[in-house]
Amino acid sequence: MYRNLANLITQKGTPFKDFAALMGFNEKTLRNKISQLTEFNFSEVKKIKTVFPEYDLFYLMASDEDTLKTTEDYADALEVQAS
């Protein structure tokens, strides 16, 4: 699940139905994508980033299964691999 994204939508005070309409699909499709039953495509991810420009893309799209959730986490992991 994309919990960070779901939480930010809620914190922004936007009903899921309205956010889904902004994205160009219905609420059920949005919930399926946030639950990772279906995938966001690249253009949808870019649109999400424009709605939340203040947040790191890795943070926005981190799933519950990810161990690396931020740009810094990825940079740290690459640094460890290089040594």
CATH number of 3-82: 1.10.260
What local confidence, expressed as pLDDT, does residue 48 receive? 97
The structural domains of the chain, with segments of one domain joined by +, span 3-82
Instruction: List, in order, residues 6 or more apart from 34 with CB less than 8 Å away.
Output: 1, 2, 5, 6
Give pLDDT tens digits along the chain (83 positions): 999 999 999 999 999 999 999 999 999 999 999 999 999 999 999 999 999 999 988 889 988 877 655 667 656 765 766 65
What local confidence, expressed as pLDDT, does residue 64 receive? 81
**What DSSP string runs through the chain?**
--HHHHHHHHHTT--HHHHHHHHTS-HHHHHHHHTTSSPPPHHHHHHHHHHSTTS-HHHHT--TT-S--SHHHHHHHHHHHH-
**pTM (whole model) above 0.95:** no
Kindly state the tokens that stand for 14: 């936007």
What local confidence, expressed as pLDDT, does residue 82 receive? 62
